Amino acid sequence: MPGAYTGPLEKVGPCQWKIPRSYREDMRVDGLIFADDTLIEQIRRDQGPEQVANVATLPGIQRASLAMPDIHWGYGFAIGGVAATDPEQGGVISPGGVGYDINCGVRLLRSDLSWDDARPHIKRLVDQLYRDIPTGVGQSGRYSFRPDELSELMSKGSSYVVDRGWGAPRDLEFTEAGGRLDDARPDLVSPRAFARGADQCGTLGSGNHFLEVQVVDRVIDDQAAGVMGLREGMVTLLIHSGSRGLGYQVCDDHLAMFRDAPQKYGFTLPDRQLACAPVLSPEGQSYLGAMRAAANYAWCNRQLLTHQARLVFERIFGESWAALGLDLVYDVAHNIAKFEDHDVGDDLRKSLCVHRKGATRAFPPGHPEIPRKYHEIGQPVIIPGSMGTASWVLAGQAGSMAQSFGSSCHGAGRMMSRTAAIKLADGRRIDKELDAMGIIARARGHKGLAEEQPAAYKDVDQVVEVVDSVGISKKVARLRPVGVIKG
């Protein structure tokens, strides 16, 4: 990772740190980072805050360039970054504000199984999940789609695979945006991206992607947990994956297309990785159409991963997944750009292009875009930790709309590069260490586990405490891992 940030950070609230607009002449708005006193010292160690300042230079940016407490250095935008731009004011769209893994996200499934029920079968369950669910770099899956089928899949999103019997209609209701962004344009997705996506839908991938069997070890909010169907001692399943090679290629293709856009449209950027174009330009519209197609592909990917996992549970426990109560609590994206209505001051409400790059939507109670079941408690916000630490379920709160364009953190956040993590793991067996903690881990090699070891990440409990304390999202339940499969 790059060197430490040395610019200004002014404490302006209990967990709020401002990078003032006066820091650099090219900044159009302030930067604002949500973090406590301990986390901000970790955040200073790389150039993530400087990237927050860089994003503050984007044309049309509104209110502030934001970062969640899990912020760390990334491509263009910091991971954990949020920015909203106004198309009517020349606001831009930036692939670096979405990320290479378009619509990387998480989904949580609950079950009627207790840990006492599952404990005798956990090793067999994890081993079977690892055998049946394709993991790793470039891995193909059991589902292959012709170009015409793939085009339809990218247009329709999750409903395309659910209609084929690989899920239930209820899954669509509890997926962000119903598992489909409108106005997707598969015709703007390159042949190379089509080729990469043909047989990767329903595969986990590598890096920090995972499928985790967990147990609810603590309920903080009884009402919200009850609405979500969660209780202490319950077995749950968390799936983390995205758009695989197809999404990566869409990002790469459009970064090349955007290279000359700043000069063409008359603005300058402090970092070429911030490559962007006006939302309403031909380049901006091309990226949006292709990005939406890749996002729909990612929702199909997580739906097919869900279907395969349910089949494994049926095989191990001898009952249908419906009888086991293996229902979707929610699926939420954390690498995406979407148009949403937000207040911009002076009692003015506008449709903005909200970039969330390593940030989770956290809409409050009563918001029209969340399932009716959750209207009283707010949208479920799912925050994975690392393999050896807890994950959290939260609920979006009104403070998110006032402070963060309806956004929350998306995970613990790295505080160590993958190279440094591998070096730290030299001579150790991370799988054995996890086993001693009561966590069964399966991966394609020791390197993947070394990169994702718990020491490489911030303290997820501390990260979640920040967003809870500032009223962005409130803690509902804590989940501990008992089995994990990774690429």
The structural domains of the chain, ordered by start, are: 10-486 (3.90.1860.10)
pLDDT tens per residue, the chain (487 residues)? 578 999 999 999 999 999 999 999 999 999 999 999 999 999 999 999 999 999 999 999 999 999 999 999 999 999 999 999 999 999 999 999 999 999 999 999 999 999 999 999 999 999 999 999 999 777 778 899 999 999 999 999 999 999 999 999 999 999 999 999 999 999 999 999 999 999 999 999 988 899 999 999 999 999 999 999 999 999 999 999 999 999 999 999 999 999 999 999 999 999 999 999 999 999 999 999 999 999 999 999 999 999 999 999 999 999 999 999 999 999 999 999 999 999 988 788 999 999 999 999 999 999 999 999 999 999 999 999 887 889 999 999 999 999 999 999 999 888 778 788 888 888 888 888 888 888 899 987 777 788 888 777 889 999 999 999 999 999 999 999 999 998 7
Give catalytic residue positions.
410
Structure confidence at residue 212 (pLDDT): 96
Q: Residue 12: CB partners within 8 Å, gap ≥ 6?
A: 18, 32
Annotated binding site: 101, 208-212, 240, 334-335, 384-387, 391, 410-413, 486
Annotated binding site for Mn(2+): 101, 209, 240, 334
d(CA 250, CA 334): 17
Structure confidence at residue 282 (pLDDT): 97
How far is CA 325 from each of CA 40, 111, 172, 330, rounded to the nearest angstrom? 41, 5, 16, 14
Structure confidence at residue 1 (pLDDT): 58
What six digits make up the tokens of 340? 């949403």
d(CA 196, CA 387): 28
Annotated binding site for GMP: 208-212, 334-335, 384-387, 391, 410-413, 486
Contact by Cβ (8 Å): 330, 51: no
What six digits make up the tokens of 317? 């426990």
Structure confidence at residue 263 (pLDDT): 95
Contact by Cβ (8 Å): 12, 18: yes
Q: Is the pTM above the cut of 0.85? A: yes
Quote the DSSP letter at residue 78.
Answer: P
Name the 3-class secondary structure at 150: helix
d(CA 146, CA 366): 41
* DSSP string computed for 320-356: -TTTTT--EEEEEESEEEEEEEEEEETTEEEEEEEEE
Q: What is the CA radius of gyration of the chain?
A: 21
Contact by Cβ (8 Å): 320, 246: no
Q: At what angle do helices 282-317 and 147-156 cross, to 10 degrees?
A: 90
